[in-house]
């Protein structure tokens, strides 16, 4: 029974969680992600009464909306009766066979202390099922909300998209301006069955609260299926995430396009992988980031082509833009190719805005601040347009503009120093 399987997994994961110390991760020569500042003992799952909180999701149109605040599912609204969107705890009982087939298939609980903690402690959770041949036009919206200090949110989302089904899934991670620490330790898994077409977006904006986000997200793409995945990272005190796409069967295709903007003393550590487990698969990974304040952002991307997976065509590129003299960024693309007859390439850059471009725009009557805004927004536009969602696109553009405005003085000073140096 799935319920027994989940309970057994919780117990095994708890042993791993309790046996391991709080980790640190060393990403490169100067880069370390440490949780020494996280006081885990003071955080707890907080329960809330049902009710729809005030949310800004870019667009109110949806086929389904489910909201988890802290440890509680507080709102569910299903507009399309052909699909299933419900708490994962409920789905374990009501969709036993489907959950048992997919649950945690790509998410081992023993990959570290926090994956184990998520496997042991998750509550509520989200289950999405789009049945075979069902085409859903409006997005399925999932919201994880933390708006109170002292919260520990252990999260798990399981999405199953059936053969030749089509849908858009939007998962939001939203916070507030509270003072104090909070934790989101998340797991996300999506299984796109043969011929499925999935547009997936993750939008993270934890606000100015001291939120630590430690999450693993994995997507499996089966024969002739396609997944377009656009993660957006716009705020969090410390974020350490692993995002993996597995093209698991011939004909599967993925596009993975991400964006991040860090500010103040935020710390972002991202690792993504494009893993090809079968031949005749394709991939396309593009990430772009901008850094202000004293923030740090490290992006490492990996293309991994396993043995017996020929005729793969994939590439990876990552770019980071420094907008402050005290910001630090890493761009680390890499390849592991274990078979012949493939096309795989990668590239990475860390750079700054071109003072000559800014000067040129200023000679045409554009202010320095407006020139910076236009160049940064243009830099991100390739990613934003891949959302293919007007409401969410405008939300991202607005938040990027707000962050640039908040850092206007330091960006102006930094650009001015660079212009004088040249």
Q: Give the per-residue pLDDT at 421.
A: 52
372: in domain: no
345: in domain: no
Q: Identify which of 215, 144, 217, 142 has the alpha carbon closest to the alpha carbon of residue 176.
A: 144
DSSP letters, 80-126, are: -TTSEEE-HHHHHHHSHHHHHHHTTTT--TTSSHHHHHHHHH--S-E
296: in domain: no
What sign does the CA torsion over 395, 399, 400, 402 have? Answer: positive
pTM (two decimals): 0.94
Q: Identify which of 316, 344, 315 has the alpha carbon closest to the alpha carbon of residue 331.
A: 316
157 strand-pairing partners: 126, 188
Helices H / strands E in the chain, number of each: 8, 21
Q: Identify which of 396, 406, 418 has the alpha carbon closest to the alpha carbon of residue 369.
A: 406
Q: Give the per-residue pLDDT at 2.
A: 62
Q: Kindly provide the b/e burial profile for residues 169-205, where b requires at least 16 CB atoms within 10 angstroms of the residue's own CB.
A: bbbbbbbbebeebbbbbbbbbbbbbbbbbbbbbbbbb
84: in domain: yes
Residue ranges in the chain modelled with pLDDT below 70: 1-3, 27-30, 412-413, 415-422
Tokens describing residue 39: 């006081």
| Helix ranges, 277-323 (H) | none
Report residue 202: phi and psi, to 5°. Answer: -115, 130
266: in domain: no
Q: Give the per-residue pLDDT at 420.
A: 52
Q: Which domain holds residue 36?
A: 2-249
Q: Give the per-residue pLDDT at 407.
A: 79
Q: Give the per-residue pLDDT at 372.
A: 80
64: in domain: yes
Please tell me the total count of domains within the chain: 1
173: in domain: yes
411: in domain: no
Q: Give the per-residue pLDDT at 71.
A: 98
CA 214 to chain centre: 11
């Amino acid at each position: 029974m799935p319920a027994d399987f989940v309970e057994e997994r919780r117990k095994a994961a708890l042993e791993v969680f309790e046996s391991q110390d709080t980790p640190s991760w060393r990403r490169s020569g100067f880069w370390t992600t440490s949780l020494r500042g996280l006081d885990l003992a003071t955080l707890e799952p907080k329960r809330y009464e049902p009710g729809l909180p005030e949310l800004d999701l870019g667009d109110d149109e949806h086929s389904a909306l489910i909201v988890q605040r802290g440890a509680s599912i507080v709102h569910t609204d299903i507009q399309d009766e052909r699909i299933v969107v419900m708490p994962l705890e409920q789905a374990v009982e009501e969709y036993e066979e489907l959950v048992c087939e997919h649950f945690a298939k790509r998410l081992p609980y023993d990959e570290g202390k926090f994956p184990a903690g998520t496997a042991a402690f998750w509550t509520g959770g989200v289950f999405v099922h789009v049945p075979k041949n069902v085409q859903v036009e409006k997005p399925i919206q999932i919201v994880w909300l933390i708006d109170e200090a002292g919260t520990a949110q252990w999260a798990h989302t399981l999405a199953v998209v059936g053969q030749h089904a089509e849908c858009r899934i939007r998962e939001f991670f939203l916070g507030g301006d509270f003072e104090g620490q909070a934790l989101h330790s998340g797991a996300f898994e999506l299984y796109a069955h043969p011929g499925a077409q999935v547009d997936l977006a993750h939008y993270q904006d934890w606000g100015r609260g001291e939120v630590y986000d430690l999450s693993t997200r994995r997507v499996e793409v089966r024969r002739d299926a396609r997944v377009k995945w656009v993660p957006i990272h716009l705020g969090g005190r410390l974020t350490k995430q692993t995002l993996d796409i597995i093209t698991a069967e011939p004909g599967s295709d993925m596009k993975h396009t991400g964006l991040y903007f860090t500010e103040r003393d935020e710390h972002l550590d991202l690792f993504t992988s494009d893993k090809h487990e079968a031949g005749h698969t394709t991939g396309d990974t593009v990430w772009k980031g901008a850094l202000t304040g004293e923030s740090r952002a490290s992006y490492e991307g990996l293309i991994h082509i396993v043995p017996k997976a020929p005729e793969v065509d994939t590439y990876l590129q990552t770019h980071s833009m420094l907008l402050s003299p005290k910001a630090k960024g890493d761009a680390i693309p890499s390849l592991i190719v274990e078979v012949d007859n493939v096309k795989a390439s990668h590239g990475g850059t860390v750079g700054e805005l071109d003072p000559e471009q800014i000067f040129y725009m200023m000679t045409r009557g554009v202010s320095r601040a407006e020139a910076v805004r236009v160049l940064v927004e243009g830099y991100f536009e390739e990613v934003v347009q891949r959302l293919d969602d007007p409401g969410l696109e405008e939300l991202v553009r607005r938040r990027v503009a707000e962050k640039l405005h908040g850092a206007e003085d330091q960006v102006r000073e930094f650009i001015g120093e660079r212009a004088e140096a040249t």
